[in-house]
Amino acid sequence: MTATRLEIPSRAEPGATLCLREATAVGRPGHAGRALLFVHGATYPGVMFDVPGASWMTRAVADGYDAYALDVRGYGGSTRPECMAAPPEAGDPFCRAEDAAADIADAIAEIRRRAGVARVDVVAWSWGTMTTACHVAAGDSAVGRLVLFAPVYGIKNPGWVDWLSEPGQPSRLRRLGAYRTESRAQADARWSAQITAARADAWRDPAILSAWFGAMRADEPGDAVRAPNGVMLDLWSAFNGRPRYDAARIQVPTLVIRGGADTTATRADALALLDALGASEKAYVEIAHASHFALLEHRRHVLFDQVAAFLDGRAEAVGAGR
Tell me, yes or no, whether 83 lies in a domain.
Answer: yes
What pLDDT sits at residue 140? 78
Residue 267 has pLDDT above 60, yes or no: yes
Helix (H) or strand (E) holding 254: strand 254-259
CATH code of 212's domain: 3.40.50.1820
What pLDDT sits at residue 29? 67
Which whole number is the average pLDDT over 267-296? 98
Q: Which domain holds residue 22?
A: 2-317
- The band of 319, judged by pLDDT with boundaries at 50, 70 and 90, is very low
Q: Name the nearest CA neighbour of 122 among 113, 107, 279.
A: 107
What pLDDT sits at residue 317? 47
Which of 150-164, 244-258, 308-322 is predicted least confidently? 308-322
Residue 290 sits at the vertex; the CA angle it makes with 287 and 295, to the nearest 5 degrees, is 95
Q: Name the nearest CA neighbour of 106 among 191, 186, 20, 15.
A: 20
Residue 103 has pLDDT above 80, yes or no: yes
Tell me, yes or no, whether 228 lies in a domain.
Answer: yes
Residue 30 has pLDDT above 80, yes or no: no
Total number of domains in the chain: 1
Pure H helices in 48-145: 56-62, 97-115, 127-137
- The band of 321, judged by pLDDT with boundaries at 50, 70 and 90, is very low
CB contact at 8 A, 284 and 274: yes
What pLDDT sits at residue 322? 37
- Which residue type sits at 151? P
Tell me, yes or no, whether 322 lies in a domain.
Answer: no
Long-range contacts at 127-130 (CB < 8 A, ≥ 24 apart): 127/41, 127/42, 127/97, 127/152, 127/231, 127/234, 127/235, 128/39, 128/40, 128/41, 128/100, 129/153, 130/97, 130/234, 130/238, 130/244, 130/245
Task: Please count the residues of the chain.
Answer: 322
Residue pLDDT, tens place only, 232-262: 999 999 999 999 999 999 999 999 999 999 9
What pLDDT sits at residue 114? 95
What pLDDT sits at residue 237? 96
Residue 34 has pLDDT above 80, yes or no: yes
CB contact at 8 A, 20 and 8: yes
Helix (H) or strand (E) holding 39: strand 35-39
Which of 157-171, 210-224, 285-299 is predicted least confidently? 157-171
